[in-house]
Amino acid sequence: MIKKNRELSKPMDIMNVGFVGNIGSGGVWEVVSHDADSTHSSGGSTYYKYTSSGNIEFGDDGTVKLMLIGGGGSGAAKYYGGGSGAGGLYFDDVNVTKGSYTITIGGSNTDSTALGKTALKGGKASPAGGTQDASGGVSGGCGAGNDYNQTEATSVVTAQQPTSSSGGIGNNGGNLSSGTYDHSGGGGGLGAAGTSGTSGVVGAGGDGRTDSQLSSFLSITSSGVDESGTRYIGGGGGACANHWESGSGGLGGKGGGTQSGDLDGGGGFGSGSSSATVNTGSGAGASGRYGSGGAGGSGICIIKFTPT
């Protein structure tokens, strides 16, 4: 005799049926793959640091914290130029969707991009003119310093990152007072504007952003430049002194910006400027009167991922 299984005739209790995984996109909130140059853990979060271009893939929709800096402006070559600006900074939460993203780290005078955001290249200063005139200045995330002839366009001196489609942080380059033959202005940094040139003071690059302003991203990932125990990133470049007034070349901003090649004052015949520190997005200083300008510092990207 075949017995009837009465259990099969009972209605299903739908309240006791569970779901496996996320309902949203059917994935798991994790980093599926990446080719970051290094990873760092702190407080339950993982920081993915990119000093060169790469990729990252997420297993589901979610929110990460992004620090992205563009490449700094290269130094003005020849003839008493202003300092060049640091690359722009994007530092905020970003909503991402399941899938892969390409990360592009900008070199000197080049934007950085990641997770749909863009950090603009730094403003590039131009020479003051005369027989050694070169191409005009180029606008960027942080502004370049104005030259002593005040020939830079307002857009070159003014930081463009804050009003860009991505938003973000950038500071202006130094301008000039109304004196005759004032020294040129310094490039803008991510923490402060470049200082303006006067008849007695050569413009210095603005300081970069500090570790505390960036939620300890720099100390956790060993990024930026240690300046007497405080980490900075994204300094502006120093301006060249003109030869009508005394004064040595302007200092670079803390965080990787470089001093003008005009180290001894009076226009520094033949002295080029050093390149800014790599992976800080810093601006380079102007060269001496007949020197060549150094490269701006390359950019950087750091993604903070926190599991739920």
CB–CB of 240/205 below 8 Å?
no
- Helix, strand, or coil here: 61? coil
Residue 43 has a pLDDT of 97
Which pair of structure tokens corresponds to residue 162?
């804050």
Residue 130 has a pLDDT of 46
Which pair of structure tokens corresponds to residue 67?
């620090």
Residue 151 CA to its chain's centroid (Å): 26
Residue 176 has a pLDDT of 67
CB–CB of 235/245 below 8 Å?
no
Residue 244 has a pLDDT of 56
Residue 4 has a pLDDT of 46
Q: How far apart, in whole angstroms, are the C-alpha atoms of residue 67 and residue 214?
A: 8
- pTM of the predicted model, to two decimals? 0.88
Q: Are strands 117-119 and 62-69 parallel, antiparallel or unpaired?
A: unpaired
Which pair of structure tokens corresponds to residue 23?
């309902």
Q: How far apart, in whole angstroms, are the C-alpha atoms of residue 161 and residue 173?
A: 13
> In which element (H, E) is residue 262 found?
none
Q: How far apart are the first and last CA of the chain?
A: 56
Give the C-alpha distances (Å, rounded to integers) separating 14 from 17, 19, 22, 26, 105.
5, 11, 19, 20, 51
What is the per-residue DSSP string for 119-187? Answer: EPPPPB-----GGG--SPPB--SSPPPPPTT--S-HHHHS--GGGSTT--B--PPP-B-SSTTPPPPPP
User: Is residue 259 packed enough to be buried (19+ CB in 10 Å), middle (13-18) or exposed (0-12)?
Assistant: buried
Q: What is the pLDDT along the chain (308 residues), one digit of tens a residue?
A: 444 444 444 444 433 333 333 444 668 999 999 999 999 999 999 999 999 999 999 999 999 999 999 999 999 887 678 899 999 999 999 999 999 999 999 999 999 999 999 999 999 998 765 444 445 789 999 999 988 777 778 899 999 999 999 999 999 999 866 666 678 889 999 999 999 988 778 889 999 999 999 999 999 999 999 999 999 999 999 888 776 554 555 678 898 888 777 655 544 555 677 899 999 999 999 887 777 888 999 999 999 999 98
Angle among Cα 120, 123, 128 to the nearest 5 degrees reads: 165
Q: How far apart, in whole angstroms, are the C-alpha atoms of residue 238 and residue 255?
A: 13
CA proximity to 294, closest of 270, 271, 276: 276
- Helix, strand, or coil here: 236? coil
- Helix, strand, or coil here: 14? helix
Q: How far apart, in whole angstroms, are the C-alpha atoms of residue 78 and residue 17?
A: 75
Residue 295 has a pLDDT of 94
Type of residue at 50: Y
- Helix, strand, or coil here: 105? coil
Q: How far apart, in whole angstroms, are the C-alpha atoms of residue 250 and residue 260?
A: 6
